[in-house]
Each structure stands twice: as C-alpha cells, then as structure tokens.
Chains A and B, each alone.
Chain A
C-alpha cells in the first residue's frame, strides 16, 4: 500500500509565478491536510479537506493561496503570484476518518524555493 505521495518534491519558481503542489492520499483515505514548515520552525496547519469540500481553512493566508480536493484526482495546493516568503516545505497528510482518533500519515513534502 503506497503511502502519501506528493509531487513535485522540489519546485523552483520566480516571484510572481504560480506554484501547484499535488498530493495523493493513501488508498482508502478521504481526508487531506496541508501543513507548511518554514525554515527552522514546526509545521503549521493550513487547510483540511474532504472530497470536494473544504472543511477548515483557518490556517490559509487570505490571499493567493487556495486548495482543492476534487472527486477524482489528487489534492492541489495552489499559490498564485509567489513571493520569497512563500519559500518553505509544504507537507500533505491524509487520514481515513476523523483525525482526532486516527493518526495522520505524512507525505515526503514539496520544497518550494522562490527566487
């Protein structure tokens, strides 16, 4: 059973470009979470999605960031008009149900560098 998959593993963008990060949850998991890890910091929650629904986006910046988890295909975290401060590692996690009772399984992350 493959784990959580994220691609690309590394992404380089110039300021003003768009970044698209993809996450395929573990088989059978319908809950996806995105976290951001800034250099030398812990992970910070961004958004929690179920299929076709955003459940909690309290950690998402108000502008330029969006996320989706369509009925088919991976979850996408989209960052428009990237700035240097967006440089970070972005981790996706999935769980089979309510994560309070089930652990979240993390992907290897996408490391975004904004030039």
Chain B
C-alpha cells in the first residue's frame, strides 16, 4: 500500500529565505505525486504535480519539486519565501489501480518570520 511521510510537522523560515519541504513516499511502481497547499479554514489548492517525464516540475507561486526515484522523495522548494506562503503543505501520492484515491502525508505547517 502507498504511504507518504512528511517528516517535518512545523517549519519556520524568514521572509526571503529559501524553503525546502520534505516528502518521502512508499509505492511499488512509479507514482503520481502532488503537492497541495491549505490555508487555515480553506480547501486544498494544487501547487504542482508529477506524472512522468522531467523530474523537476514547476508549479504555481514560484514553487518547484524534484522527483528522485532512488530516494523515493518529492521535495518541494522555493528560492525566496513570501509572508503569504504561510500555510499547511501536503504531499500526496496517487496511483491508477488503487481506486484512484490520493494518500496524503500528515502535512507540514510553514511559518514565515518577517
């Protein structure tokens, strides 16, 4: 069965600093990978997704993520964080043939210091 681990529950960075949020997954085949962002009291917005091809994917709001098969990782990065990026970030894995459901990590709460 698929699983997703986000090892950092909370991360605090200064505005303008770079950001990396970690995500490790467990799945027997090539997964479909997603990063979502959730602001307090809101739904989830897709930041980016990986299905195949180039392992470095670009998303919205200046985010990018790199799929590393050898490390079973899909870390999210941003070169310069803005105060409006403060939110909770979820990594998710999906796979055809498993009911097409998404399996989410527990999330990482990002705080941005001004």
Q: Which residues of A contact B (CB under 8 A)?
A: 4, 31, 33, 35, 41-45, 48, 55-56, 58-59, 91, 93, 95, 98-101, 103-109, 111
* Beta-carbon contact of B42 and A108 below 8 Å: yes
B51 CB-CB contact with A under 8 Å: yes
* Beta-carbon contact of A100 and B90 below 8 Å: no
* Beta-carbon contact of B104 and A42 below 8 Å: yes
* Beta-carbon contact of A91 and B43 below 8 Å: yes
B11 CB-CB contact with A under 8 Å: no
Q: Which residues of B contact A (CB under 8 A)?
A: 4, 32, 34, 36, 41-46, 49, 51, 90, 92, 94-97, 99-107
* Beta-carbon contact of B101 and A56 below 8 Å: yes
- Nearest residue, chain A, Cβ from B88: A42
Q: Within 8 Å CB of A111, what residues of B?
A: 41
* Beta-carbon contact of B43 and A108 below 8 Å: yes
Q: Tell me the complex Cα distance, A108–B42, Å.
A: 5
Q: Tell me the complex Cα distance, A4–B100, Å.
A: 18
Q: Within 8 Å CB of A44, what residues of B?
A: 104
Q: Tell me the complex Cα distance, A91–B46, Å.
A: 14
Beyond known contacts A99-B100, A99-B102: 5 more, CB 8 A cutoff? A33-B101, A43-B44, A43-B90, A98-B100, A103-B49
Q: Within 8 Å CB of B96, what residues of A?
A: 98-101
6 tightest A-B contacts by CB?
A: A56-B99, A100-B96, A99-B100, A42-B104, A45-B101, A106-B44
Q: Tell me the complex Cα distance, A45–B104, Å.
A: 9
- Nearest residue, chain B, Cβ from A56: B99
Q: Within 8 Å CB of B95, what residues of A?
A: 100
Partner of B94, one of A31, A55, A99: A99
Q: Tell me the complex Cα distance, A35–B4, Å.
A: 16
Q: Within 8 Å CB of A59, what residues of B?
A: 101
Q: Tell me the complex Cα distance, A48–B107, Å.
A: 22
28 of the cross-chain contacts (CB-CB < 8 Å) are: A31-B100, A33-B101, A33-B102, A35-B104, A41-B106, A41-B107, A42-B4, A42-B105, A42-B107, A43-B92, A45-B103, A48-B100, A55-B100, A56-B101, A58-B99, A59-B101, A95-B100, A98-B96, A99-B101, A99-B102, A100-B95, A100-B97, A101-B51, A101-B96, A103-B49, A105-B46, A108-B43, A111-B41
